[in-house]
Amino acid sequence: MSISLSVKTAIEESGNSRENLMSVLQIIRSDLGTLSPAILTEVADQMGLSRADVYGTATFYSFLETTPVGKYSIRICRSISCDMKNKNAVREALENHLFIKKGETTKDGMFTLTETNCLGHCHEGPVMLVNDEIHTELTPDSAVKIIEEIRIREGVDE
Amino acid sequence: MTRERISKMQEKVNLIFSECDSMELLEQALKVEPQQILKMLLTSSLRGRGGAGFLTSLKWKFASEADGNRKFVVANADEGEPGTFKDREILDKVPCKVLAGMAICAHTIGAREGYIYLRGEYNYMKKSLQQKLDEFNDKIKNMLDFTISIKSGSGAYVCGEETALIESMEGKRGEPRNKPPYPVTEGYLGFPTVVNNVETLVYVAMIMKHGAAHFASLGTEKSKGAKVFSVSGDTPIPGIYELEMGMNLAEFVELFGDGDTKAVQVGGASGFCVPRRKFAETIIGFEGIPTGGSMMLFNSSRSMYNVLHNYLEFFCEESCGQCTPCRVGCQQLRNGIEAVKQRKLPPSHLDVLSKMTRTMKIASKCGLGQSVPNSFNSIVTSFKEEIIY
C-alpha cells in the first residue's frame, strides 16, 4: 500500500481530529512497520497538523518507532522480576541465534531485538512480546524455538 | 499450611474476582441517587488503588459538581509499575465488573462517554475486551446514556499519571500537566474527567453490591477495605492475591517468603525497599507504606546494587524529560552509583546524591520524579555496603 493511501485509510478508521493522532499512528505503525519521516509528514499534511507536532508525539512513545524495524519486534522484559529469572540468558540465546545484538535488526529485516520495561507478567518471567503476542516462562531454548517457528511460518530458509 | 492460610485470608475478602451478575448489579446501582452513591463511597473510605490513594468519593464529588457540556469517565489500565500485573488480570477475568464500575461513575457524575486507556503492552487483550465492550454498550442502551471505547497507549510508563494519560488520549506527548486545574474540573478535551484505576472501579461496583459497611469492616482504621497484591520475585508462590489492607510485612513475608527474604520492595520501582529488620514494624497500608500492589521479594542471594541500578535505569528511560529535576536527577543518580561502585567517586558521593533527591522530591512536576527518591534512599540507607562494595 502506498504511504498516502495507508495514511488516508488510518485517518478514515480513526477520525480526523487531533485526539485521534495516536490511533492513526498506531494503525500505520502496524501496517507499514515503521513511522519514517515521509510517513509522519504525510500524516501531518492530511490531518492539518504541524510536522513537529506529529513528530513530537510519535517519538515520545517507545512502541511508535521512527527508525526502520524488523517485521517482528521482539521485546524482552528487562524489569527486575524478569531479570532475577535470568532474562539475560534468554536475550543472549536470541542474540546468538539471530546474529544480532540488542537494539539491532536482522539483515533480512525480519526481527528486531530490544529490551523493554515491565510487561506486567512478573509472576511468570522471563517474558517477551513478539509484536502483540506475549510469551511467558521462557528458557533460552523455548525463546529460540518461538523465533524458529516464526521463521518456518514466514517460509524463510536459514 | 501456608497455602491454606492464604486461601482462608482470600476467601474472607473475595470481592474483586467473585462471580457476580454485573448487569443485575448495575441495574440496582442505577436506581440509587448520585448523592447517595457519593455518601456510600465516603462511608466505605475507598481510596484509589493505583498507588496515589486519593479518596474516590471526593474525586467523584468534584467531578459531579463541575460544570461541563461533556464529562468523561476513564479507566486507567496503563499498568506500568514494575512488579504490578493485577489490572491485566482483572480486565482479563472480570471485565464486566470494571465496565459496571465505569457506568456507576457515569451515572454519579453525569458523564455520557467513557474510555479505557489500555497500555500498548496489553494490545493482545484489546480484541476480546472490545467484544465485551460492544456487548456491554448494547446491553446498557436502555438503562443509561453512556458509551465506552478503548484508547491504546504505546509504551510510556509516565502515562499512568492521570494528566499525562489525558494528554496521551488527546493524541499528544504523554507529558504531565501543571496542577491545578485537576482533571475533575479540566480533564480530557478540557471537560471534567474522572480517571480511576481499574481495581478502584471494581471496588466501587462491589461496594454497591455488598454495602459500604461491609467494605469498611475489612482492613484497619486508616486503611479500610482490601487490595489486590501482585507478588513476585523470590517467592515460591508468585501471583495475584486479594487481601485485607493493613497487614504487617513480617506476616506477609511469613506467608510469601522463601525463608531467606532479606528485603521487600513495596510499591514497585517508585515504592520503598524495606529491609528484614523493619518487617515487623512496617504496615502495608496508608498508615505505613501505601502501595499500588506491587510486592517484590528479594532473598540474600540478590545484590541490592543490581536492584537499585535496574530501577534507576528504568526511571532514566521513562522520565518524560520535560522537567529538569527528574530528567537530570535520574541520570545523576544512576551515573552516581555506577561511579561509586567503580571507585571513580568516594562513598561520600552517596550523600551528595541523597541531598539531590530532596530537590527532586520538591521540584519535580509529577509523581514520577517525586517518587524516585523513595527507592533510592530506602535502598541506599539499608544496604549501603552493597552499593559501595
Chain A contact present for B224, CB below 8 A: no
Indicate yes or no: CB of B230 within 8 angstroms of CB of A122. Answer: yes
Cβ A63–B120 below 8 Å, yes or no? yes
**Is position A65 within any domain?**
no
pLDDT digits (tens, 9 = 90+) for A61-105: 999 999 999 999 999 999 999 999 999 999 999 999 999 999 999
How many Å apart are CA A10 and CA A26, to the nearest integer?
9
Whether residues A78 and A120 fall in one domain:
yes
| A49: in domain | yes
Residues B306/A83, Cβ–Cβ less than 8 Å = yes
Rounded to whole angstroms, the Cα distance separating B389 from B385 reads 6
| Arithmetic mean of pLDDT over chain B | 97
B110 and B254 inside one domain: no
Average pLDDT over every residue of B237-262: 96
Tell me, yes or no, whether B272 and B318 share the same domain. Answer: no
Q: Tell me how close the Cα of B180 comes to any Cα of chain A, in angstroms.
A: 22
Query: Do strands A111-116 and B72-77 pair parallel, antiparallel, or not at all (unpaired)?
Result: unpaired
Residues B244 and B311 in one domain: no
Shortest alpha-carbon distance between residue B304 and chain A (Å): 11
Task: Mark yes or no for CB contact B310/A83 under 8 Å.
Answer: yes
Q: What is the mean pLDDT of residues B164-175?
A: 98
Query: Do residues B293 and B317 share a domain?
Result: no
Q: Residue A118 falls within a domain, yes or no?
A: yes
User: Testing the interface with A: which of B228, B232, B265, B316 to mutate, by most A Cβ within 10 A?
Assistant: B232
- Rounded CA separation A112/B90 (Å): 31
Q: Which residue in the block uniquely carries the three cell numbers 520535560?
A: B322
Buried b (16+ CB within 10 A) or exposed e, B201-236: bbbbbbbbbeebeebbebbbeebbbbbbbbbbbbbe
* Claim to verify: residue A38 and residue A97 sit in the same structural domain: no
- Supply the pLDDT for residue B367: 95
Specify whether A49 is located in the same domain as A11: yes
Q: Say yes or no for a CB contact (<8 Å) between B124 and A133.
A: yes
The verdict on A31 and A56 lying in the same domain is yes
Q: Is residue A78 located within the same domain as residue A55?
A: no
The whole-angstrom separation of Cα B159 and Cα A68 is: 25
Check if B84 contacts A (Cβ < 8 Å): yes
Same domain, B257 and B316: no
Residue with cell 533460552: A140
A59-74 burial code (b ≥16 CB/10 A, e <16): ebbbbbbbeebbebbb
Specify the CATH number for the domain of residue B350.
1.20.1440.230
> What pLDDT, on the 0 to 100 scale, is given for residue A155?
84
Distances in whole angstroms, Cα of residue B251 to Cα of each of B83, B180, B281: 20, 40, 11
Question: At B51, is the pLDDT very low, low, confident or very high (cuts 50, 70, 90)?
Answer: confident
Considering the domain architecture, whether residues B314 and B287 belong to the same structural domain is answered as no
Same domain, B236 and B327: no
Rounded to 10°, the helix A37-47/A3-14 angle is 50
> Which residues make Cβ contacts (< 8 Å) with residue B268, sequence separation at least 6?
B81, B82, B83, B84, B291, B292, B294, B296
Q: Is residue A16 part of a domain?
A: yes
Q: List the CATH number of the domain containing A133.
A: 3.40.30.10
What does the pLDDT average to over A122-144? 97
User: Residue A8: how many CB atoms within 10 A of its CB?
Assistant: 14
List strands edge to edge, sheet with A72-77.
Answer: A111-116, A72-77, A128-130, A133-135
| Chosen domain end from B299, B318, B337 | B299
Q: Is the pLDDT assigned to residue A156 strictly greater than 80?
A: no
Judge contact between A112 and B73, C-beta under 8 A. no
Same domain flag for A136 and A83: yes
Q: State what percent of residues in chain B have pLDDT above 70.
A: 100
Q: Decide the pairing of beta strands B261-266 and B272-275.
A: antiparallel
Question: What is the C-alpha end-to-end distance of chain B, expressed in Å?
Answer: 40
Based on the domain organization, do A137 and A85 belong to the same domain?
yes
Q: Is B221 a domain residue?
A: no
B89: which DSSP letter?
Answer: H
Domain stops at, among B241, B266, B299 = B299
Residue B3 to chain A, least CA–CA distance (Å): 17
Q: Are A79 and A147 part of one and the same domain?
A: yes
CA distance B16 to B2: 22
Q: Are residues A94 and A149 in the same domain?
A: yes
For B182-229, how does the pLDDT look when each residue is reduced to its tens digit (9 = 90+)?
999 999 999 999 999 999 999 999 999 999 999 999 999 999 999 999
Q: Using the 3D structure, point to which of A39, A60, A81 is the last residue of a domain.
A: A60
pLDDT in tens, A9-67: 999 999 999 999 999 999 999 999 999 999 999 999 999 999 999 999 999 999 999 99
Q: Which residues in chain A are contacts of B120 at CB distance < 8 A?
A: 26, 61, 63
Whole-number pLDDT of residue B369: 97
Question: How many domains is chain A built from?
Answer: 2
Cβ distance B171 to A79 less than 8 Å, yes or no, reads no
**Span between the terminal Cα atoms of chain A, in Å:** 28
Range(s) of the domain holding residue B167: 2-216
Half-sphere exposure of A120 (CA within 13 A, CB side): 25
Q: How far apart are CA B4 and CA B68, in angstroms?
A: 51
* In a shared domain, residues B15 and B135: yes
- As a whole number of angstroms, the distance between CA B97 and CA B197 comes to 13
Query: Burial, B8: exposed, middle or buried (Cβ in 10 Å; 0-12, 13-18, 19+)?
Result: exposed
Same domain, A36 and A104: no
Q: Give the closest of B88, B265, B298 to A120, CB-based.
A: B88
Residue B4: C-alpha distances to residues A56, B8, B210 (Å)? 53, 6, 25
Q: Residue A66: inside a domain, yes or no?
A: no
Residue A1 pLDDT exceeds 90: no
Which residue among A20, A64, A117 sits closest to B157, beta carbon to beta carbon?
A117
Q: Read off the pLDDT of each residue in B240-251 and give the average, rounded to a whole number.
A: 96
Asked whether residue B234 falls in the same domain as residue B123, the answer is: no
Check the CA dihedral B193-B199-B201-B204 and report its sign: negative
Report the distance separating Cα A148 and Cα A47, nearest Å. Answer: 40
**ipTM confidence score:** 0.96
Reply yes or no on whether the pLDDT at B1 is more than 90: no
Whether residues B202 and B265 fall in one domain: no
pLDDT band, residue A157 (cuts 50/70/90): low
Predicted local distance difference test score (pLDDT) of residue B52: 86
Contact call for residues B350 and B336 (beta carbons, < 8 A) = yes
Element (H, E) at A141: helix A140-154
- Please state the domain count of chain B: 3
CB proximity list for A76: less than 8 A, separation 6 or greater: A82, A87, A90, A91, A94, A113, A114, A115, A116, A126, A127, A128
Domain annotation covers residue A67: no
B235 SS3 class: coil
Rounded CA gap, B220 and B46, in Å?
12
- Tell me, yes or no, whether B10 and B64 share the same domain: yes
CA A60 to chain B, closest CA, distance in angstroms equals 6
Same domain, residue pair B230 and B292: yes
- When CB atoms are compared, the residue of A18, A60, A123 closest to B156 is A60
Q: Is residue A130 part of a domain?
A: yes
pLDDT of B386 above 90: yes
Residues A37 and A106 in one domain: no
User: Does residue A131 sit in the same domain as residue A83?
Assistant: yes
Are the C-beta atoms of B227 and B47 separated by less than 8 Å? no
At a CB cut-off of 8 Å and minimum separation 6, what does A72 contact? A110, A111, A112, A130, A131, A150
Residue ending a domain, choose from B248, B275, B299: B299
Chosen from A49, A81, A116 to mutate, greatest number of chain B CBs within 10 A: A81
**What is the extent of the structural domain holding A141?**
72-154
CATH number at residue B23: 3.40.50.11540
